[in-house]
Structure 1
Amino acid sequence: MTRPTATLLISCPDRQGLVATIANFIYSYGGNIVHADQHTDFERGVFLSRVEWQLDGFNLPREIIAPAFEAIAFPLEANWEVHFSDEIPRLAIWVTQQDHCLLDLLWRQRAKELPAEIPLILSNHETLRPIAERFGIDYHHIPISSQTKAESEARQLDLLQEYNIDLAVLAKYMQILSTDFIDRFPKIINIHHSFLPAFPGARPYHRAHKRGVKIIGATAHYATVDLDEGPIVEQDVVRVSHRDEVADLIRKGKDLERMVLARAVRLHLQHRVLVYGNRTVVFS
């Protein structure tokens, strides 16, 4: 088995000696760093880093690591978090009626490409229940209308808590989450069928075809209160031509959506994404 590791993600105002400060903290307790990366946004004066070290031989119990590091992080005005490789995150996948992203995520999880458990699928339709049953995953159908939105979202939040969900993945969930919902559960990755910021909102392939674009794309981003404007985690594109109809763009786009969403979820699960402002640094 792979030895368990701890991963520190940190961002703070840039200053001299930050790399040494972090490394010395790990070294002082006997830690062996196995991966380290950092980036400085000079325009914004922000330092960002991901450091991973082995827990074998580290002289702090894991429950003491965060309190011990807080004494260092506080004077640095740092935002930070620590994760452990042997703690398996729990995902909820949200869908409407399209199945391509759902099936891809489930297959990758079963193939152990995604280090996560998937105990819950949520949908505003019954259409994809047979897939959940085939994979032995609980499926909750929660219809949503303008009149019932608050009640439906309250039930969704209850389920996220009941199943101890760490990350919600909107795998073609064609509903807009409320500000209150996102404030209460901000760990959400969405897949958008466009290379944002081009063609946000609905029917991007139709608009792209009308515009005569030569490439189409897909974007995975964290959901925020501003529709399709959250911090971008992963993107990709494919070429199209004047011979392609809307149906061709949709077919090619679905392939991109699967790959882009899977890569974004994997990067998040591996704790390789740092958000600052409305931007991300991805330590791949």
Structure 2
Amino acid sequence: MTSAVLLLSCPDQRGLVAAVADFVLRHGGNVVHAEQHVDREAGVFFQRVEFDLDGGDLARDEVAPAFAEVARRFQMNVAVRFTDERPRIALLASKQPHCLADLLARWRADELPAEVVAVISNHEDHAALAHFSGAPFHYLPVTPPTKAQQERQILQVLAEADVELVVLARYMQVLGPPLLDAYPARIINIHHSFLPAFVGARPYHQAQTRGVKIIGATAHYASADLDEGPIIAQDVEAVSHRDSVSDLVRKGRDLETVVLARAVRAHLEHRTLVFGNKTIVFG
């Protein structure tokens, strides 16, 4: 059964929940999920409402025009999505395979409501994995002098494949403004949560030397501020002096795969709203 999803934000005011519920009721819909949040400091209201279309009087292409009057009345920013949508996504990776392999396995197991239409890498290592998974593979090498040209090639691949979401599955290149601007709040990145404490190369070696007691991973929307974009998902695991560097790396990779998949699924299930430098993630 296909449901419609309303993702909305607006200045907080009386009557918002009632107005949205009344809209669904008047058009014969049935609310199956509803969640809201108020940022009291900013005075902004956020809501996700999912409702069944079957039995109602609106076709899917009629939902947004019909809701426009409610949106105007409350100065809402509204996105209308549907639960049967399978967004077209591209996975970018460099040398490390763990996040790429995990996402492709979840996709082949139908755990991700999406279509992987491109795997892009600046190394040839993952060609066999992509082909085995049934995803087109694009090898686009990069050096400092060719970085701008390589990003133009990436943009061309994304455009030709009609990509809606880009996932950086441990893609170890800093993205330039043209790529970031082309996909605002539609590029998801993953990194270890040592940042900014242990920047640069060999972060797990640095952490082990310092005797850290906890490691973690953070998935976020990519922004011009490198690893400081709006956070979607995070997780941590306790470690101790008994853990070697290889133990930390292994545990860190496990966290990265789970956290990245959690963030990608939240986006694909239309459960995220970006506000400033934070992400509202509905349950």
SS in 1 for 2:91: strand
Q: CA deviation at 1:76?
A: 2.3
- 2:85–2:113 CA contact under 8 A, matched in 1: no
Of 114, 117, 120 in structure 1, the residue corresponding to residue 118 of structure 2 is: 120
Q: Which runs of 5+ in 2 are unaligned?
A: none
Looking at structure 1, the residues matched to 198 and 76 of structure 2 have their Cα atoms a distance apart, in angstroms, of 35
Q: CA deviation at 1:104?
A: 0.8
Match of 1:179 in 2: 177
Q: CA deviation at 1:75?
A: 3.7
Offset from partner CA, 1:111-153 (integer Å, 9 cap, x none): 1111111121000111111111111211001112222222211
Match of 2:164 in 1: 166
Match of 1:132 in 2: 130
Does 2:236 correspond to 1:237? Answer: yes
- The one-letter code of the counterpart of 2:241 is H
The equivalences for 1:1-150 within 5 A come to: 3-150=1-148
Match of 2:214 in 1: 215
- 2:97–2:126 CA contact under 8 A, matched in 1: yes
- The one-letter code of the counterpart of 1:138 is P
SS in 2 for 1:210: helix
Q: CA deviation at 1:56?
A: 0.5
TM-score by length of 2: 0.95
SS in 2 for 1:16: coil
- 1:195–1:219 CA contact under 8 A, matched in 2: no
Looking at structure 1, the residues matched to 203 and 141 of structure 2 have their Cα atoms a distance apart, in angstroms, of 25
- 2:167–2:187 CA contact under 8 A, matched in 1: yes
- 2:205–2:245 CA contact under 8 A, matched in 1: yes
Looking at structure 1, the residues matched to 117 and 79 of structure 2 have their Cα atoms a distance apart, in angstroms, of 25
Q: CA deviation at 1:203?
A: 3.8
Percent identity reads 57
Match of 1:260 in 2: 259
Match of 1:153 in 2: 151
Looking at structure 2, the residues matched to 80 and 140 of structure 1 have their Cα atoms a distance apart, in angstroms, of 35
Match of 1:274 in 2: 273
- 1:196–1:219 CA contact under 8 A, matched in 2: no
Segment of structure 1 superposing worse, 29-38 or 241-250: 241-250
- 1:193–1:205 CA contact under 8 A, matched in 2: no
- The one-letter code of the counterpart of 1:47 is F
Q: CA deviation at 1:86?
A: 1.6
Looking at structure 1, the residues matched to 145 and 206 of structure 2 have their Cα atoms a distance apart, in angstroms, of 30
SS in 2 for 1:119: strand
Segment of structure 1 superposing worse, 179-188 or 204-213: 204-213
Looking at structure 2, the residues matched to 69 and 199 of structure 1 have their Cα atoms a distance apart, in angstroms, of 48
Q: CA deviation at 1:240?
A: 0.9
Offset from partner CA, 1:42-72 (integer Å, 9 cap, x none): 1111111100000112212211211222222
Change over 3 Å in CA distance of 1:173–1:269 after alignment to 2 = same
